[in-house]
Chain A
C-alpha cells in the first residue's frame, strides 16, 4: 500500500473523540469495528491510525463517556472482543462536541467562501 498517505486526510486534533462517540451511537462496537466504520463511512478518506485509536478509547473510558465489557462476537460466538458502549454522559458530550464542531466549521466556511453566504 504505497499510495497510503497522499489522498487521505489527517484527522484534526480532538476530532477523533467525537467520531468515536458518534460511531458508538449506533450501538456497542469493539476497537477494530470502530476503526473500520470510520474508514468505510468516509470511503477510506479518513484513515484512523490504529495506534491513536486505543489511547483515545481508554481516555474516553476514564472520563466516563464510554464503558467497556468483554463479550463474545456476534458472528463467531467463540471469540471475545472488548465492546465499548456510549454512557449517558457520553451522549451529552457528543451533543456538546457536535454543536462545537458545527460552530467551528460554520465559522471556517464563512471565511473561506464569503460569496456563497449571501
Chain B
C-alpha cells in the first residue's frame, strides 16, 4: 500500500463518518433535541471514533505493512540521530557485500552464465581427453570428414582460433580480433542476424572463394555507426576485399567467455585472413589442430551412445588421414589416432581463463566471505553496544505494552535496513571493483570482455547475503534486547543490569581469529609472488624490449619467401643492433614467457627424452640475460643455407640426459610432431645454456632444446624481436619503431613491450591474488581493531567507577593503563589462539597457489600473529589512556 493511497482512504473515512454524524444529528433534532444535544447524542451513538477508525483500518488489512512503515521510519530517525554509528555500520557492510558481489560477479560471468544462444543447455563440445582436462582442437580434415559421416549430432559446427586481423574500412586500418567459423555456425547456435544475414553452408564450400564477413554488434556501432548501409560494404582484411553480409545480436560474443571477436569469416578463408600462416585447409605434413567442434545431439541419441559412436568414427578417420598424410610409423601417430573423445556440456561456453582462474576465484570468494563475516561481527557488536544503551527505551516500550515480538521485529527491521543500505551501496561498489579487476586481468593481453551485467543470479546473491547478514548480526542483539528483566532495568535508572558484554567479547575474539586466517593467507600469497619476482634477481627486465612481428607470408615453407625473409630478419637485427644504447638483439619464435609444447626426442644412444623446443636466432641467451655455460652460441655460419644442423640444450636437459658427461658433440633426433627440423634428422649439440626461468615461473625448470630457424623446413609465423638496452638509454622504443617501419612498411601494427610487462602478464593471477588478499587482510585487521576498540572502550566506560575507586585507593595511572591494555591483549590473544589452527587448516586449500613457501610457513604465521597483536595494542591504547585519565573524584561523585 502506498502512503498516498492510505491518505486518500483516511480522508474518505473521515468524510463518511462526518456524513453519518450529520444525518444522525438531523434525525435526533427532528425528534425534538436541541442542535447541541443532537450532535452529542449522534457522537455517543457512534462511540469512540479513534477506536472505530483503528478497527476500520484493521479491516483494510494493511496494518502490518503500516507497522513496518512505522518501524522503518523509526529506524531512519534513529540513524539520523546517530549518524556515526550508521556510517560505520553501513560502510563496513557495503565493503563486505560489495567485495562478495564483485567476486561472485566474476564467477558468474566466467563460470555460470549461459551463452546467449538458443537452448544453451543442449550445446555440446567435442573434445579429446588430455592429461589435464581436455583438448578441444581438431584438424581441419578431421572436421570435414567427421561432419560428413557422423549421424549423432543434428549438425556438427566449428570455429577456429581467434585471429588478429588487419581490417581497413574506408582506408582506415585497424587491428581487430576476428574468428573463423563454419557455414552452419550460426544456424547450430540459433543466433539470428539483427541486420543482413548470417552465414549458411553455401558460404563455406570452396577454399578462398567466400569473401564474406559477419560483424559483431559493437563493431557495427563503433566502426560503421550502426548504419544499415554497412550491409554490402567492402572492407579489406589483410589485403583481401570482403563484403559485410550481416550483424549478430548485441549480447552475442561467440563461444569463448572473455573474448569477443568482432569480425567472423568462413573457415574457407583461413589462408586469406592468416597470410602469415600456412594454408591449414590443405593436407600439409604439419598437421595443425585448430578447430573447435560443437553441436546438438539428435533427439533420440544419448551422450554415451554418441561418444562411443564418434570414438569409432574418429579412430577410423584419423588412421586413414595418417596414411594419406604419410605419417608412416611416426611415434606420435598413435597419439593422433588413439585420442579418447569426450562430449563436454557447452551451455556456459569455453574459456581459456577458466583453468587458471577457477580455483583462484573460489579462494577469493572464501576470503571475501570471511571479510563479510568480520563486518557482520562488527555491526553486531555495535548494535549490542547500542542495544544496551537503549535498554531503558526498550524497557519503557515493553512496560507500556509492546509485545516482545514487536520489539524484536523493530530491532530486526533496523538491522535489515542497515544491511539493505549496505547492500545497495555494495552493489555500486562492486561495479567499480569488478571493472577494476577486469582491467587488471587485461594487462599485457587482449582486452578481456566479460559480460558483467547483473543477472538474476547475481542480484539474488546480493539480496540473499544482505538479508542473511542483516538477520545474522541483528538477531542476537534483538533477542537480547527483548529479554530484559523489566523491573531491574527501570529501577536502575538507565544503567544496564546485565550488559551483553560476554557476547560482544566473543564476537571480538571471532573477528581476530578470522582476520588471522585472512592475514596468513595473504602473507603466503605475497611471499609466493615475492619468490616468483626474485627468480632472476639482478636482471633488469625493464630494459629488455619485446616486439611481436608477423611479416606477410612469413610461414610459407620452402617458397620464394624463405630467402627474402631471412634477409629481412638479418637486416632488421643489424639495424636494431646499431641503435645507440642497444646491447644485444635477437629473434625467437615465441615470447620467453610462453610455455611452448613438449616434443619427444631421441638421443643417439637410443634413449627418449621429452623437451621443449624453441626456435631462436643468435644472441638469444645474451639478450635475455642468460649465458652459454659450455660450448658456443649460434653464429652466422649456422644461419647459412645448408649448414650442418646444430642445437643448444639447457642445463636441466644436459644434467638429465647426459649425467656426468659433456653433451657437446652428442646427437639428438626429434621424433615427434615438429615445427622445426626434418623429423629424423639428427642435430649436433654445440652448447649448453643456463636455464631461462620465464616460461616455467611457477614450475620446476624443464628440458629445453634451442635450434635455429634457418634449418627449418617451415616458415616462422609470428616472430618475437627481443632487444636489450643499456640501463641509462631512453628513446630506444621509438627508435625501434622507426627501424622496423623502415625495413618493411607492410609489417602489421605492433607494440613495443618490455620483458617486465610480459612477466607481469604471466604472473597476473599470482599478482591479483596477492593484491586482493592483502587488501582484504588489511581490511579485516582494521575491522577487528574497530571491534576490539569498541568492546574495550565500552567496558572502560562501564567500569569508570571501579577504576575511580582503584585510583582513589592509590592505583597509579600506569597500573590502570596496564589493566585495560591487558584486557585488550587477552581478547586478541584468545582470538589468535583460536585463529592459528583455523589458519593452519584453511591455508592447506591454498597449497596449489603457493611457490617457494609451505602452507604452514612459520614466518608468515608469526608475522600474522604479531601484526594482529600490534593492532590490538593500538586499538587498546585509546581506551586505556582514557581510563588512566579518569578523575577518581568525578567518577565517584557520579554514583
Which of A6-14, A18-26, A47-55, A101-109 lies at the interface? A47-55
Interface string of A52-78 (1 = CB under 8 A from B): 101110110010000000000000000
Chain A residue at smallest Cβ distance from B49: A51
CA of A49 to CA of B15 in the docked complex: distance in angstroms? 19
A-B contact pairs, 16 of them (CB 8 A): A31-B16, A31-B20, A32-B19, A32-B23, A49-B47, A50-B47, A54-B16, A54-B20, A54-B52, A58-B59, A58-B60, A59-B59, A62-B60, A81-B19, A82-B15, A82-B19
Cβ 8 A contact of B55, one of A30, A55, A79, A82: A55
A82 and B59: CB pair below 8 A?
Answer: no
A80 within 8 A of B: yes
Chain A residues whose C-beta falls within 8 Å of the C-beta of B20 in the assembled complex: 30-32, 50, 54
Q: Are A80 and B61 in contact (CB under 8 A)?
A: no
Nearest B residue to A61, CB-CB? B59
Q: Are B58 and A62 in contact (CB under 8 A)?
A: no
Q: Given A49-B47, A50-B47, A51-B51, are A58 and B19 also a contact pair (CB < 8 Å)?
A: no
* Interface residues of chain A: helix, strand, loop or mixed (majority): helix
Q: Name the CB-closest residue of B to A82.
A: B16
Q: How many A-B residue pairs have CB under 8 A?
A: 55
Q: What is the interface of chain A, defined by CB distance below 8 A to chain B?
A: 1, 30-32, 36, 49-52, 54-56, 58-59, 62, 79-82
Q: How far, in Å, is A37 (CB) from chain B's closest CB?
A: 13
The answer to whether B23 touches A55 (Cβ under 8 A) is no
Residue in B closest to A80 when the chains form the complex, CB atoms:
B19
Number of interface residues of B (CB under 8 A): 24
Is residue B739 contacting chain A, with contact meaning CB distance below 8 A? no
What chain A residues lie within 8 Å of B15 (beta carbons)? 82
Task: Return B823 CB to nearest CB of chain A, in Å.
Answer: 59
B residues lining the A interface (CB < 8 Å): 12-13, 15-17, 19-20, 22-24, 27, 41, 45-48, 51-52, 55-56, 58-61
Contact: B61 with A62, CB < 8 Å?
Answer: yes
Q: What residues of B have a CB within 8 angstroms of the CB of A62 in the complex? A: 59-61
Nearest-CB distance from B64 to chain A (Å)?
15
CB distance from B576 to the nearest CB of A (A): 87
Contact B24 A32 (CB under 8 A): yes
Q: Complex formed: what's the CA distance from A55 to B61 in Å?
A: 11
Given known A32-B24, A62-B59, contact A55–B52 (CB-CB < 8 A): yes
CA distance A25 to B683 in the complex (A): 110
Contacting pair B16 A51 (CB below 8 A): no
A101 to B22, CA, bound (A): 34
Is the beta-carbon distance between A79 and B59 smaller than 8 angstroms? no
Shortest beta-carbon distance, A93 to chain B, in Å?
Answer: 16
| Distance from A75 Cβ to chain B, minimum over Cβ atoms (Å) | 11
Known: A51-B51, A55-B59, A80-B19. 13 other contacts (CB 8 A): A1-B41, A32-B20, A49-B47, A50-B24, A51-B46, A51-B47, A51-B48, A54-B55, A54-B56, A55-B52, A55-B56, A58-B56, A62-B61
The interface centre, meaning the residue of B20, B27, B41 with most chain A CB atoms within 10 A of its CB, is B20
A59 neighbours in B (Cβ, 8 Å): 59
The residue of chain B having its C-beta at the shortest distance from the C-beta of A81 within the complex is B19
Once A50-B45, A50-B46, A50-B47 are accepted as A-B contacts, the answer to whether A55 and B58 lie under 8 Å apart by CB is: yes
Q: How far is the CB of B179 from chain A (nearest CB, A)?
A: 60
Nearest-Cβ distance from residue B649 to partner chain A, whole angstroms: 90
Write out the residue numbers on chain B whose beta carbons fall within 8 Å of the beta carbon of A80. 19
CB of B47 within 8 A of CB of A54, answer no
Residue on A with the closest CB to B16? A82
Give, as a whole number of angstroms, the nearest-CB distance from B702 to chain A. 78
- In the complex, which of the residues B13, B15, B55, B61 has the most CB atoms of chain A within 10 Å of its own CB atom? B55
Q: Which of B13, B27, B46, B51 has the most CB of A within 10 A?
A: B46
> A82 and B12 in contact (CB under 8 A), knowing A30-B19, A32-B23?
yes
Contacts of A31 in B (CB 8 A): 16, 19-20
Q: Are B59 and A51 in contact (CB under 8 A)?
A: no
Q: Is the CB of A79 within 8 A of B60?
A: no
Q: Which residues of A contact B46 (CB under 8 A)?
A: 50-51
| Inter-subunit contact A79/B19 (CB<8 Å) | yes
B13 — which chain A residues lie within 8 A by C-beta? 54, 58
